[in-house]
Structure 1
Amino acid sequence: MKIKKMKMYGLLLVLGVILVVIGGFVVKNPELKALSGVLIGVGAGLFGMSGGELIKNKLIQKDPLYNKKLEIEQKDERNIYIRNTAKGKAFDIMSIVYSILMLIFILLEAELIFILLIVSAYIVGYGIYFRYLYKYSNEM
């Protein structure tokens, strides 16, 4: 992998650690608790993603055959089918989870904005589903 990308992942790793430290130890004000949580979450995500990419790139540099194996696994039709099937099942389950969450928020008499956000996410998900269903049915 190019040195530029390795440096970028290294910087993102350091940025992730800095965000976690700021969110966990620097932001102590109880009024900024949400900001602290966001900083920790984003920092941990950056740290995990960058660390994983750096480890993968080191393995590829040590063993070029490992890179070829990764490419074959990513492009293998069987693996693509398995990933797409898993995504489909996850979408089916998320539809049920969103429905349950909407009902729970309505029964708990939550603020309207939270209910509308969940309903919007539900509608957007199905909108995207129907868009691609229409697109792929016309292609095949």
Structure 2
Amino acid sequence: MDKLLTVTELAEAFSVTPRTIRFYETKGLISPQRVGSTRVYTYRDRARLKLILRAKRLGFSLMDIREYLDLYNVDPEQIEQQRLLLAKVTRRIEELEQQQEDLAATLDELRDIEQQAMSNIKKKSAAMDESA
């Protein structure tokens, strides 16, 4: 039988707050069992939380995560789940590559402004030194 975890134990295992776990519960991503009034989490809940946190860290939306998790229950062979994952990962890679290009362009522009400012300061300092 699986070891059941409390919300606090599960939160500590993933270095998140119990509030984070409850948030994912309200979004329907995790559905703990209850023993009396206490929420208890199974190995399956733990695995789902691990997947949720990883997907969030990689920049996926809660809707993307829900869609992926929902396929797990209806696709025993996980073929559609893997197809969806591939499509979403490919899209995320494209988004990040675009952000990387945009960031590189912004850094280049800022470096140009920095060089212009330093050049202007040197020119004005030299002019002040000559007039003194």
Q: Shared fold (TM-score greater than 0.5)?
A: no
Q: Which has the higher contact order (CA 8 A, sep 6+)?
A: 1
TM-score by length of 2: 0.38
Going by fraction, where is strand more abundant, 1 or 2? Answer: 2
Going by fraction, where is helix more abundant, 1 or 2? Answer: 1
